[in-house]
Chains A and B, each alone.
Chain A
């Protein structure tokens, strides 16, 4: 039972990685930009969630507010930072992105204080449900279910809707898509909007689980999701999902069994190195993007 519980804990945390990694891999697939500042969008979502919940006393307002703020931030980042740099070598937007993450983290520090802010009321923190003999936190369950639901909805959207078709077309061959009347600019905005919405959702969920939001909460997530999308094969959505869950589970066991030798955060880096050495095309990648 204990081993199952460790695996479940890993899947839950992995589902948060999945929410983050998906946005990152979408943006990489479309623009070839490693959007490191995605982690700042995640932190923004967390802060807006905490502040709104404290101000209104309702999580039903906090979630949409956080997601909306994340979407707007994502679009603004694309418009103001990446769009003007897209014709430069890929290192330029990458450096801009790293700089943006540092800038935004410090901005959170200056505006909201260094210690972070806690929820005034967060009754869900102590609630648990028992499923098949396993006791799981309500928020943990919400994280897993929320991730699975939103990622499935997204997959259905890409597979079956007209916009989804335009999206896939743009990913595959932007020039061809343009000549068929697809607005590449629109697809890009939509891409940032959806990716950022997932990051905002992940931010609020983590804030709820930790019971507070803090300025540096995105740092580790940022490099781990980076490892994940490399793990999965850059730009591959399926790979990112597999990579996320896999890393979550490996970390979960690693925390207990590698304790003392390797810390949890080092595990992502080790996986990254291993993949780059032995399978540089990534776990799930069969056809080059």
Chain B
């Protein structure tokens, strides 16, 4: 036992010497995104955005003067992967901060690990409410699912002025959290839900749902799902002669929605979609470079990831140090941060960012800005 202890000490000493050799003024920031698997397109955009952000941070004084080294892993959008990655980032890579460029399930799983390690962790675009419940080190500068759902109900009632809605949702976190905000808001606003249906992640044929929506004969159809659901669903609804407008969740925001759905994509609204007409010069420069590096497929995801890194830099600057506790406090005290989705007024008690919801729509094969739904 004692011998084992000595061996361990020697090992630790060697490790300490080895680890101590690189230049001191560097700070490691961990990052994970789905580079392979079903979410790989989002992961690719997220990862390019993270690299661009780190380059920009290092070109503008780093994190409180220290150079950022990005440590990035592929989580395949799998919680099992993200837990292993979070442990590796903390124990092996020794990151001081981390950013999630992935979906709700893997972010939620990793958040607990980062919280336990007291590593400030910023979830760039995952929408499940429970993520920040992991603890005070977890932040989300993004609108969570329920308020996005509520924003959809307000958009339908206040902007489109429609009264009867059919609700179609995917049976995962993304779909159900959006719905948990949509339903009470609809009730409050007097928006009648005339039919509600769910489908599975892999469904592409919606025959029974289309038949049901047709029978419901709604003014508008709210779809909480992803573009790979939205595109075939839009085609099938239009083929069946249903002409009611389609309002989709943030998951619809992909150029693929347009390339798959073709003409049926025209007129689809996306709640909390990135405003591509954002006049901010920083945004324009970012978009140009993102496109050059082949990361423009998921613009919204990329914008959110970039903004998450910028928020970290902003907090470190205000903290005047890279001390994790101080940066955490600075993050919590954020006010009026210029996020690409709109001004992040502050974090609420759950450390969820208070932002407006931009609404975009497909017009002539392109996403255009429609309105901002205030927070």
- Judging by beta carbons under 8 Å apart, are B261 and A265 in contact? no
Q: When A6-B211, A10-B208 are in contact, do A211 and B239 touch as well, CB less than 8 Å? A: no
* Interface residue from A9, A259, A264 paired with B211 (Cβ < 8 Å): A9
Query: Does B133 lie at the interface of the complex (its beta carbon under 8 Å from any beta carbon of A)?
Result: no
Nearest-Cβ distance from residue B197 to partner chain A, whole angstroms: 5
| Closest partner residue, chain A, to B210 (CB atom) | A9
Q: How far is the CA of A259 from the CA of B297 in the complex (A)?
A: 32
- Judging by beta carbons under 8 Å apart, are B235 and A9 in contact? no
Instruction: Tell me which of B21-29, B104-112, B198-206 binds A.
Output: B198-206
- Judging by beta carbons under 8 Å apart, are B208 and A255 in contact? yes
Q: How far is the CA of A116 from the CA of B198 in the complex (A)?
A: 24
- Judging by beta carbons under 8 Å apart, are B199 and A263 in contact? yes
Interface residues of B in 229-270 (CB under 8 A from A): 231-232, 235-236, 238-241, 256, 259-262, 264
| Closest partner residue, chain B, to A121 (CB atom) | B262
Q: When A118-B260, A128-B239 are in contact, do A9 and B207 touch as well, CB less than 8 Å? A: yes
- Judging by beta carbons under 8 Å apart, are A115 and B200 in contact? no
Query: Does A220 lie at the interface of the complex (its beta carbon under 8 Å from any beta carbon of B)?
Result: yes
- Judging by beta carbons under 8 Å apart, are A140 and B207 in contact? yes
Q: When A118-B259, A211-B232, A255-B197 are in contact, do A6 and B208 touch as well, CB less than 8 Å? A: yes
Please, which residues of chain B bring their CB within 8 A of the CB of A263?
171, 198-200
0/1 interface trace, chain A 1-27, chain B, CB 8 Å (1 if under): 010011001101100000000000000
Query: Does B4 lie at the interface of the complex (its beta carbon under 8 Å from any beta carbon of A)?
Result: no
Nearest-Cβ distance from residue B54 to partner chain A, whole angstroms: 24
Query: Does B209 lie at the interface of the complex (its beta carbon under 8 Å from any beta carbon of A)?
Result: yes
Q: When A118-B260, A126-B238 are in contact, do A13 and B202 touch as well, CB less than 8 Å? A: no
In the complex, number of A-B residue pairs with CB atoms less than 8 Å apart: 104
B contact residues, total (Cβ < 8 Å): 37
* Interface residue from A118, A219, A252 paired with B202 (Cβ < 8 Å): A219
Nearest-Cβ distance from residue A202 to partner chain B, whole angstroms: 12
Please, which residues of chain B bring their CB within 8 A of the CB of A219?
202
Query: Does A145 lie at the interface of the complex (its beta carbon under 8 Å from any beta carbon of B)?
Result: no
Query: Does A210 lie at the interface of the complex (its beta carbon under 8 Å from any beta carbon of B)?
Result: yes
* Interface residue from A10, A137, A220 paired with B239 (Cβ < 8 Å): A137
- Judging by beta carbons under 8 Å apart, are A13 and B199 in contact? no
| Closest partner residue, chain A, to B195 (CB atom) | A256
Please, which residues of chain A bring their CB within 8 A of the CB of B228?
116, 214
- Judging by beta carbons under 8 Å apart, are B199 and A255 in contact? yes
Query: Does A212 lie at the interface of the complex (its beta carbon under 8 Å from any beta carbon of B)?
Result: yes
Interface residues of A in 36-78 (CB under 8 A from B): none
- Judging by beta carbons under 8 Å apart, are B207 and A252 in contact? yes
- Judging by beta carbons under 8 Å apart, are B215 and A2 in contact? yes
Nearest-Cβ distance from residue B167 to partner chain A, whole angstroms: 10
Q: How far is the CA of A260 from the CA of B262 in the complex (A)?
A: 30
0/1 interface trace, chain B 206-223, chain A, CB 8 Å (1 if under): 011111100100000000
Q: How far is the CA of A9 from the CA of B207 in the complex (A)?
A: 6
Query: Does A183 lie at the interface of the complex (its beta carbon under 8 Å from any beta carbon of B)?
Result: no
Query: Does A235 lie at the interface of the complex (its beta carbon under 8 Å from any beta carbon of B)?
Result: no
Q: How far is the CA of A260 from the CA of B203 in the complex (A)?
A: 15
- Judging by beta carbons under 8 Å apart, are A211 and B197 in contact? no
* Interface residue from B199, B200, B202, B236 paired with A216 (Cβ < 8 Å): B202
Query: Does B287 lie at the interface of the complex (its beta carbon under 8 Å from any beta carbon of A)?
Result: no
Query: Does A253 lie at the interface of the complex (its beta carbon under 8 Å from any beta carbon of B)?
Result: yes
Q: Which has the most chain B C-beta neighbours within 10 Å: A109, A115, A216, A251?
A: A115
Q: When A9-B207, A256-B212 are in contact, do A125 and B202 touch as well, CB less than 8 Å? A: no
* Interface residue from B208, B240, B261 paired with A128 (Cβ < 8 Å): B240
Q: How far is the CA of A12 from the CA of B205 in the complex (A)?
A: 11
Please, which residues of chain B bring their CB within 8 A of the CB of A13?
205, 207
Q: How far is the CA of A116 from the CA of B262 in the complex (A)?
A: 15
* Interface residue from A109, A127, A128 paired with B40 (Cβ < 8 Å): A109
- Judging by beta carbons under 8 Å apart, are A115 and B197 in contact? no
Please, which residues of chain A bring their CB within 8 A of the CB of B256?
115-116, 118
- Judging by beta carbons under 8 Å apart, are B198 and A259 in contact? yes
Query: Does A114 lie at the interface of the complex (its beta carbon under 8 Å from any beta carbon of B)?
Result: yes
* Interface residue from A135, A211, A212, A256 paired with B208 (Cβ < 8 Å): A256
Q: Which has the most chain B C-beta neighbours within 10 Å: A109, A220, A259?
A: A259
0/1 interface trace, chain B 283-304, chain A, CB 8 Å (1 if under): 0000000000000010000000
Query: Does B38 lie at the interface of the complex (its beta carbon under 8 Å from any beta carbon of A)?
Result: yes
Q: When A2-B211, A126-B238, A263-B171 are in contact, do A209 and B198 touch as well, CB less than 8 Å? A: no
Q: How far is the CA of A13 from the CA of B205 in the complex (A)?
A: 8
Q: When A109-B40, A125-B239, A216-B202 are in contact, do A12 and B196 touch as well, CB less than 8 Å? A: no
Nearest-Cβ distance from residue A120 to partner chain B, whole angstroms: 9
Q: When A114-B38, A126-B235, A211-B235 are in contact, do A265 and B207 touch as well, CB less than 8 Å? A: no
Ordered by A's residue number, 26 sampled pairs between the chains whose C-beta atoms are within 8 Å are A2-B212, A6-B212, A9-B207, A10-B207, A109-B36, A115-B297, A118-B259, A118-B260, A118-B262, A122-B262, A125-B239, A137-B240, A209-B232, A210-B205, A211-B261, A212-B260, A219-B202, A251-B208, A252-B207, A256-B208, A256-B212, A259-B198, A260-B196, A263-B171, A263-B198, A265-B202
Question: Which 10 A-B residue pairings sit nearest by Cβ, starting from the closest?
Answer: A9-B207, A114-B40, A265-B200, A255-B208, A220-B202, A252-B208, A210-B204, A5-B211, A263-B200, A118-B260
| Interface positions of A (Cβ within 8 A of B) | 2, 5-6, 9-10, 12-13, 106, 109, 114-116, 118, 122, 125-128, 135, 137, 140, 206, 209-212, 214, 216-217, 219-220, 251-253, 255-256, 259-260, 263-266
